[in-house]
Structure formats: C-alpha cells, structure tokens
Amino acid sequence: MTPEQQTPGTAAAAGGTAAAVSGPGRAGSGTGGGRPGAAGPPSPSAAKPPAPGKAPSGASRGASVRARGLGVRGARGWVFREVELDVAGGALVAVSGIAGTGRTALLLTLGGRMRPAEGTVAVGGFTGLAEIQQVAALGIVPGVAELDPALTVREHLNEALALREGVFGRFRGREARRRRALERAGLDLDPRTLAAELAPAEEQLLGAALGLVGEPGLLLLDDVDEGLDAGRQRALWRRLAEIAATGVTIVATCHDPAPAEGLATHGLSL
C-alpha cells in the first residue's frame, strides 16, 4: 500500500474516529476485469438484488464497496464512526487496528449483518441489508462464523453447499464444486482432515473457501494474521491477493498491516 492509499486514523470503543482513504483498484483484477477507481451505486431502478441461491451478476469481477460517514454505536458508546471507504470490484482491503477498535463490527456492517447508527454503505450498488447479504459472504469471523473442530474439510464444504443450495440441492457436480472452492482458495487438503488439525493459515483459507461456495461479490475475513509469524502473514496476504484476482472483493482485518504492503490495494486504519 502506498502512502496515498492508507491514512492512519484513530478509533475507540467509545467515541473514536476511523479514517480511511480510497485508492485505485487494480486494473484488470477479477475474471471480468477490474476498473480503476470506485464505481458509484446504480440508480434504484437499475439495481435489482440477486435471487436467493443465485450468484450475483457482479461476482465475476467482485463488488464495489462504498461507505460514507459509517458508524456503529453500542451500549457503551461508539464502536467506530466516520469510516470512509471507496473501492472497486476485485480490490483487497486490509483493515488494521488493535483490539477494541471495531474491526469485526465494521466487517459485519459492510456485510449487511449489522445496521449502522450513522452513514451509508453500498455493496455492488445495493444498500438494503437483505440485498447486501446476498452479495457479501463471511469467512471466519470469531464468535459469528467459525469452524467446528470436530468436522472434516469435506463436512464443512457440504454444510456450506447445503446452506446455499438446500439439503436436497444439486448433488450432481457437488464434488466438483467442493474441489473448485478449495482450489480457488489455494488449498490442497485431504477432505478427511479435521478442522482441529489445520494450521492457522489453513483455517483462514478454508473459511474463505466456505464463503466462496456461494460465488459472492464481497468476501469478509477477520483477524487473518492471528497466530501467524510475519513470514506466514505475508504468504497469506499473497494468497488473498490471488483469490481477489479470481473475481471477488476481499476486506480482511488484521493487527499489523505491514505484511500486506504491496499486496493489498487499499488500507484502512481504525
């Protein structure tokens, strides 16, 4: 990330301000080709939410994300506020901050899982919570979406596919879809491996694979550097950049943004 793509800000659980700057997305990112800059949301007449169970039309290049004056307030004050974000589809955004700065709450708000107290957010041009939920998927978010240590990789993928397609959904080709999700996340794992046996980076990538099952336009990952040394953090950010290039926008939170330098297209400091 270049200096013009990242501006440090401050945030606190009670009354802090998160600052961000927008930067150009990678040209040519995503299977449909990324676009420099951020695309504004279409007019209400042009924007139609995808039907449940169907991939959004913007998934081929990732969904644009635009936040204006975004803030969430909790029982003890502001979790975060005044967040500004403007990224094109196919971007990789590194959101950094210490514990308590509202990183997880920001992810949930961007993903339509938490209603903001102030400001606006649009993902792929959609502004309604239900609409955003159709185009935004969660990877691992502690306390919200986590792996079950007693389940295998295959069982996790089967569960994700069942949630997306229904228990009696498309059985034909399901093995290929499981394999595609793992390959897209860059995972070469025995499907019989238990989640409890995975290394931290593998856990994050399996979480990404589970989110990618639904072909989202936006993928949200929390605490991606947890339990990793600097070298493994760098390797994980490199993999996330490769995933984003397949046609999905990724917003990932971390403690230290340094390993994402030159790989993330945008930085946001809380």
Instruction: Spell out a b/e string for 70-87, using b for 16 or more CB atoms within 10 Å of the CB, else e.
Output: bbbbeeeebbbbbbbbbb
Give 8's pLDDT tier (boundaries 50, 70, 90). Answer: very low
Which residues of 51-189 form beta strands (DSSP E)?
A: 65-74, 77-87, 92-96, 118-123, 136-138
In this prediction the pTM is 0.76
Average pLDDT, the chain: 80
Token couple for 26:
């990678």
Chain segment 51-78, per-residue pLDDT in tens? 433 433 444 589 999 999 999 999 899 9
Angle at 124 between CA 243 and CA 180, to 5 degrees: 30
Would you say 262 and 1 are in contact if contact means Cβ atoms under 8 Å apart?
A: yes
Report the number of secondary-structure helices (H) and strands (E) in the chain.
6, 9
Chain segment 82-130, per-residue pLDDT in tens? 999 999 999 999 999 998 899 999 999 999 999 999 999 999 999 999 9
Segments making up each domain of the chain, as ranges: 7-39+56-269
Residue 169 has pLDDT above 90, yes or no: no
CATH of domain 7-39+56-269: 3.40.50.300
Chain segment 225-269, per-residue pLDDT in tens? 999 999 999 999 999 999 999 999 999 999 999 999 999 999 999
Residue 220 has pLDDT above 50, yes or no: yes
Mean pLDDT of 156-181: 78
Pairing state between β 249-254 and 77-87: unpaired
Strand 77-87's sheet: what is its strand order?
Answer: 77-87, 65-74, 118-123
Q: CA-CA distances (angstroms) from residue 38 to 22, 25, 67, 118, 254?
A: 8, 7, 11, 22, 23
What was the pLDDT predicted at 78?
Answer: 95
